[in-house]
């Protein structure tokens, strides 16, 4: 005799989040675990074998917890919840709301995966944090959100962002305009994150007051950054000498986040990448935190995860052939 479907009691908001537009979220969970889900009222019922039901329940509860906190639930959130449930992680293991983060235009900013939660914890506890991993894992966005939170609370005086402007060379001279106009195209991901968190008008005011600053790596030399939160983005494209220079810019009351993907080095000599070298030297040093993201932490479009997996499989295959 088959066991009756398991009923999970949920709030109305959680039911809507689990269901999704046109039942899209429900379909994702059903396909992932081979279960059948229905919403009879006051919650959802899950039918399938015991192991599948248990995994689907973990995913549902993770989604429900986020929805009950007032967070927007997108398809990426559902896929992350499914991945956590498959890995046997308990509901809510991605972390809750952290007080260091501001409320963005789409609601409170919070970690979506366990790795993101560890990353934010490191940003709160360490003076220097390295965030390593593939595209779409939230390395830059969460660093910007953390820095914006520090700035809004007055814990730092400035938010400074730097990155290699044109791959390894930083050859900005051929672009028209002043320094800001030359650099801005390469800072688009950072400006998008800041706009999402602060809003366009507050971002403009703080830039004009010098509280938010962007600069290419070459323009950081010789400076001392005090009472600032510094973000070094796309750090895999800094040389070893550039990385040492950047890390030693830290002054009194300053903190730094260094983000990048060691597998996406654009330098002519890939072995000269300052990111992997710095992590190899500093991992375990007091005050330094290192968070490594994996393909399972991709929270961008689901296609990004599939693309990263395909490239990783190809790299592994070529490594075996070699």
> Residue 240 is part of a domain; what is its CATH number?
3.40.50.300
Could you list the beta-strand ranges (E) of the chain. 6-9, 36-38, 43-47, 103-104, 107-108, 128-132, 158-163, 212-216, 228-232, 255-260, 288-292
Q: For residues 142 and 194, what is the distance between their CA atoms, to the nearest angstrom?
A: 10
Same domain, 37 and 156: no
| Structure tokens, 16 | 């809507």
Mean pLDDT confidence for 193-221 = 88
Domain membership of residue 195 (yes or no) is yes
Same domain, 55 and 122: no
Strands 103-104 and 158-163: unpaired
Range of the domain at 234: 103-321
The domain that holds 37 is classified in CATH as 3.30.1370.10
Q: What does the pLDDT look like over 212-232, one tens digit per residue?
A: 998 888 889 889 999 999 999
Q: What is the DSSP letter of 3?
A: P
Distances (CA, A) of 223 to 126, 183, 219, 220: 22, 18, 9, 6
Same domain, 148 and 42: no
Domain membership of residue 95 (yes or no) is no
Tell me: pLDDT of 193 over 80. Answer: yes
Same domain, 55 and 113: no
Tell me: pLDDT of 82 over 50. Answer: yes
Comparison of pLDDT for 199 and 243, the residue scoring more: 243
Domain membership of residue 94 (yes or no) is no
Domain boundary among the residues 86, 116, 140 is at 86
Tell me: pLDDT of 269 over 70. Answer: yes
In this prediction, residue 177 has a pLDDT band, given cuts at 50, 70 and 90, of low
Q: How many CB atoms lie within 10 A of CB 213?
A: 16
Domain membership of residue 185 (yes or no) is yes
Q: For residues 190 and 54, what is the distance between their CA atoms, to the nearest angstrom?
A: 39
Same domain, 275 and 138: yes
Q: What is the DSSP letter of 44?
A: E
Q: What is the DSSP letter of 297?
A: G
Domain membership of residue 237 (yes or no) is yes
In this prediction, residue 149 has a pLDDT band, given cuts at 50, 70 and 90, of confident
Please tell me the pTM assigned to this model.
0.70
Domain count along the chain:
2
175-179, 292-296, 299-303: least confidently modelled range: 175-179
Same domain, 162 and 287: yes
Residue 100's pLDDT is: 45
């Amino acid at each position: 005799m088959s066991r009756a479907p398991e009923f999970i009691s949920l709030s109305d908001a959680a039911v809507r989040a689990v269901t999704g537009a046109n039942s899209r979220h429900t379909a994702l969970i059903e396909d992932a675990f081979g279960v059948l889900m229905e919403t009879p009222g006051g919650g959802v019922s899950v039918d399938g074998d015991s192991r599948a039901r248990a995994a689907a329940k973990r995913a549902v509860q993770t989604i429900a917890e986020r929805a009950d906190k007032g967070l927007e639930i997108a398809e990426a959130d559902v896929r992350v919840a499914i991945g956590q449930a498959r890995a046997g992680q308990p509901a809510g293991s991605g972390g809750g709301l952290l007080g260091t983060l501001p409320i963005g235009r789409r609601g409170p900013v919070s970690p979506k995966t366990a790795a993101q939660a560890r990353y934010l914890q490191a940003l709160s506890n360490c003076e220097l944090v390295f965030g390593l991993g593939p595209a779409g894992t939230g390395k830059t966005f969460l660093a910007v959100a953390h820095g914006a939170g520090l700035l809004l609370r007055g814990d730092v005086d400035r938010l400074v962002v730097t990155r290699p402007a044109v791959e390894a060379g930083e050859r900005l001279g051929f672009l028209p305009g002043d320094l800001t106009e030359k650099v801005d195209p390469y800072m688009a991901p950072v400006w998008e994150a800041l706009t999402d968190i602060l809003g366009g008008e507050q971002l403009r005011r703080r830039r004009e007051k010098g509280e938010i600053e962007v600069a290419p790596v070459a323009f950081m030399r010789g400076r001392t950054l005090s009472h600032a939160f510094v973000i070094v983005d796309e750090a895999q494209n800094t040389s070893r000498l550039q990385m040492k220079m950047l890390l030693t810019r830290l002054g009194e009351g300053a903190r730094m986040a260094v983000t990048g993907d060691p597998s996406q080095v654009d330098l002519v000599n890939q072995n000269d990448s300052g990111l992997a070298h710095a992590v190899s030297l500093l991992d375990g040093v007091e005050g330094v935190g290192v968070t490594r993201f994996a393909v399972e932490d991709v929270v961008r479009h689901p296609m990004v995860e599939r693309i990263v997996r395909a490239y990783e499989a190809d790299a592994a295959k070529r490594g075996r052939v070699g």
